[in-house]
Structure 1
Amino acid sequence: MLKTLDIIADAVSEANWILVNQQLQQLLEKKNLDSQVVDNSELEQAVAIVMEVMKTGDFQTRWDIAKIFPKIGKPAIAPLLEILEDEYADLEIRWFALRILGEFNEPQIVLSLVKLLEETEEEELAIASARALANIGKPAIAALIELLKEEKSRLLAVKSLAQIRCLEVIEPLLLIVNDNDSVAQVRVTAIEALGSFHQKHLIPVFIQALQDTDCSVRKEAVIALKMRAYLEEEFDLVNHLQPLLYDINSEVCQQAILAMGCMKNEAAIKALFDILKFKNAPLFIKQEAVRALNWSNSFLALDYLKESLYSNDIELSKEIISVLGRQESTEFKSYAAEILIDFVNSEQEVTHQLGIKQVVATSLGELGDLRALTHLEKMSLDEDSKVRLYAKTAIKKLNDK
């Protein structure tokens, strides 16, 4: 055994980190597998050697050697805590000590990490400490709840709790969500974390958060409700989400549109159609609504897309034509092809726009309906070369069916 330690010591002096790692692995394997037990003094020597590697190696070496500590066990904790608590130690080494300590589930580590979280002015260490606490899990929750009481440490405490995905964090997170005096980012993090728990009693919390004064909180609440579309009828989610379709923040609007697309009922589909009729809605919001209507997979949604197709906004019409070409079921494909053929036959001014003709040709080709062949052949003789190309490509797809 001593021979192994001697080899390790020599390798450290020569900065032969590969050999150090190999010999340490052998030492620890003997501890776990051999009948001969590695005693404490030998483990202390191994720890001392590893600590020397931590102090003198480069980043990659430290990264590799960090994997050894959890295998050593409790004897590694004290020297790591000593580094952690040394304000004058190298920042990178303290960061590695934090990362390693997060692999242990020991009360003294939780206390040290909480203390560091409260006192450090180094952002990297604060973040690493929060992650280590989260990695430890349940034993860290009580300490983090205490940190929630202090405004200075509340955000990092919430971020730590948010990474501990167990039911015990729900109650403290609920306290934060209902605290309107807390900074918005705290509430955002709490809502996002609660959104990962599929507990029905949280739905009213998300609904209430839709009224939050901060747009980021509202956005996270919408996302949480979107993931619970199956509860739409029980909690009347469409009615609660509908005002968010016209939120002053465009990201909130977009998430509300996506949520409505997930609901897939008549009320949600009608709400999305109303956006297309709203004159003051920006184009990109209307385009999101078009895509959401298409996800609804219903004939009602296709009817609304058909009604909106004859828009004075060329770009909106192009988006509608494009999504009509993405139908998957045979029935929807047939109806979408019928809508596009009627559109072409209408001979309205919009149908003669080059960009429109190109998209129509592509969508008709995707739908594979042979009723479109006559129209595509006519388009293949168009005066514009791009229209001719798109039409011929679509004809080939139809003939290959």
Structure 2
Amino acid sequence: MLEILAKAKSATQDRDWLQVNYCLQQLPLTEDGKTPFDEEFLNLALTVLNYGDFQERWEIAKILPRFGDRVIPPLIEILEDEEIEMEERCFAGSILGQFDRPLAIEALMGCLQTSEDEELTAIAASALANLGESAIATLAHLLQQPESRRLATQALSQIRHPAAIESLLTVVRDEDAKIRTIVIETLGTIRDRRFIPVLIEALNDLDIKVRKEAIIALGLWRDLTSELDLLTLLTPRLYDLNLEICQQAAIAIGKLKTSEAAATLFHVFQSRATPISLQLTLIRALAWNETEASLEYLHKILSSEDEEKLLETIRVLGRMETPHLKSRATRVLLDFFSSSSPALKSPHILKYLIQAWGQLGEPDAREVLVPLQDHNTPSIRLHAIAALDRCQITSLE
């Protein structure tokens, strides 16, 4: 111990904080994983926290908890001192989150209430969340105070405990949209039927982010599509005034994997009022739908004269992974190839087609890939050879 102390002191004089860290790591541990307390060792560790760079502070932050509860008061002093560098204060707050003690909780709570620095308050909220169940009562109290409600909500959202969720439900209709968003996002990650009515209500929230999180959350209940009538609930959001919401609704509806959902998506796709960006999302959603109906709708889209929509449709058909639909997708693309579409004159379209057949790897595509090996465009020939090889490999698997 004396030898370690001497080396650590020498390194401190040389401001070699990496060496000080190394010396402190050599300290023996007691049965409870703590370091035998010595005031000098603790002071050396705090010196590294004070003067070290980020990496050196990161390393000493792993060692300081070994000193037990005695380290709490000096860490609180650092956390509360506005004259101290912000990075050091953040590290102090993070370390305090490892101590499930009233004194540590009170200090972190005070930081949430009084600090005006967003980074520091975020660290304090995360530290409180790290304490888990013991911090719930404190955080629930902070929900009652407007100035600390948002950060308390963020901290509670990280604690997966029934009491924390109950507290969050008290602010699900808060006037702060950010708070409502956090609550809906959190509820969406929990498999509990009790929260479904809350998620459904949030679909009509005035805030875009709240509506988006509600759509994402309800989309995770697609195994109850019929019981909840999710298609009926989500369809109005396809006509939302915000394009991002429309796109999120299309994604969620596509993953319902029903023919009715596919029909709904295609109906919106056909509307002249639907912008091209949403139409492209609807094409992807139809592919995710993975039904015979959705493939038929994608087949119809291939009659479009818009190259961007054609390329996206060919691309998603080539990425079909459901075994019984891969052959059908291959045939859809073959039908398009044999049509008289002017788009087939585009080398770009032809390359996408060949790549799609290669990805699908279905033997049926050989009938067109073999002749394309002799195409007068070198890049087309190379793509055809690669796709044909893939089809042959797949047939042998």
C-alpha displacement of 1:330: 4.4
Query: Per-residue CA shift, 1:307-363, capped at 9, x if unaligned?
Result: 222113222122222222223344322222222222222313344444333322332
More displaced 10-residue stretch of structure 1: 376-385 or 362-371: 376-385
Aligned partners of 2:392 and 2:62: how far apart in 1?
61
Matched-pair contact (CA < 8 Å) for 1:325–1:366:
yes
SS of the counterpart of 1:126?
helix
1:3-28, CA deviations, whole angstroms, 9 ceiling, x for partnerless residues? 54444334323334344334433434
Q: 1:257 aligns with which of 246, 250, 253?
A: 250
Match in the other structure for 1:73: 68
Per-residue CA deviation, residues 67-103 of structure 1 (Å, 9 max, x unaligned), is 1111111111111112222232332322221111111
1:309 maps to: 302
Partner SS state of residue 99, structure 2:
coil
Q: Which moved more, 1:6-15 or 1:305-314?
A: 6-15
Name 1:92's counterpart in structure 2.
87
* TM-score, length basis structure 2: 0.90
Partner of 2:122: 127
Structure 1 length as normaliser, TM-score? Answer: 0.89
- What is the CA–CA distance in structure 1 between the aligned matches of 2:282 and 2:233, rounded to whole Å? 18
Which residue is equivalent to 1:24? 24
Aligned to 2:278: 285
Q: 2:255 aligns to what SS in structure 1?
A: helix
CA contact (8 A) 1:269 1:293 kept: yes
1:102 and 2:97 are equivalent in the alignment: yes
Identity level (%): 39
CA spacing shift, 1:389–1:280, aligned 2, 3 Å? farther
Q: Against the structure 1 CA distance between its residues 308 and 75, is the aligned structure 2 distance closer, same or farther, given a 3 Å change threshold?
A: same
Q: Distance in 1 between matches of 2:130 and 2:73?
A: 19
Sort the Cα spacing of 1:66 and 1:312 in 2 relative to 1 into closer, same or farther, 3 A: same
Equivalent pair of 2:290/2:322 in contact (CA under 8 Å): no
Alignment of 1:1-400 (within 5 A): 1-2=1-2, 4-29=4-29, 31-32=30-31, 38=36, 42-179=37-174, 182-380=175-373, 384-398=377-391
C-alpha displacement of 1:215: 0.6
* d(CA) in 1 for partners of 2:379, 2:96: 63
CA distance in 1, matches of 2:172, 2:385: 58
In 2, Cα distance between equivalents of 1:97 and 1:108: 14
CA distance 1:360–1:83, change in 2 (3 Å) = closer
| Cα contact 2:50–2:88 (8 A) shared by 1 | yes
Change (3 A) 1:344 1:108: same
Stretches of structure 2 lacking an aligned partner (at least 5 in a row): none
* 1:113 to partner: Cα distance: 0.9
One-letter code aligned to 1:48 = N
Runs of 4+, deviation exceeding 6 Å = none
Letter in 1 for 2:8: I
Question: Residue 247 of structure 1 contacts residue 253 of structure 1 at CA under 8 Å; is this kept in 2?
Answer: yes
Stretch of structure 1 that moved more, 10-19 or 317-326: 10-19
Q: State the aligned residue count.
A: 393
Using a 3 Å threshold, how does the CA distance of structure 1 residues 111 and 388 change in structure 2: closer, same or farther?
A: same
Query: Which whole-Å CA distance do the structure 2 matches of 1:137 and 1:313 have between them?
Result: 54
AA aligned to 1:318 is L
* CA positional deviation for 1:120: 1.1
- Tell me the secondary structure at the aligned position of residue 241 of structure 2: coil
Distance 1:43 1:390, change over 3 A: same
8 A contact 1:44–1:75 mirrored in 2: no
Q: Assess, with a 3 A threshold, how the Cα gap between structure 1 residues 92 and 351 changes in structure 2: closer, same or farther.
A: closer
TM-superposed deviation, 1:373: 3.6
Shift of 1:222: 0.9
Counterpart secondary structure, 1:27: coil
Amino acid at match of 2:97: G
- What RMSD in Å do the two structures reach over aligned CA positions? 2.5
Structure 1 stretch 318-327 or stretch 366-375: which is displaced more?
366-375
Cα distance in 2, alignment partners of residues 240 and 173 from structure 1: 24
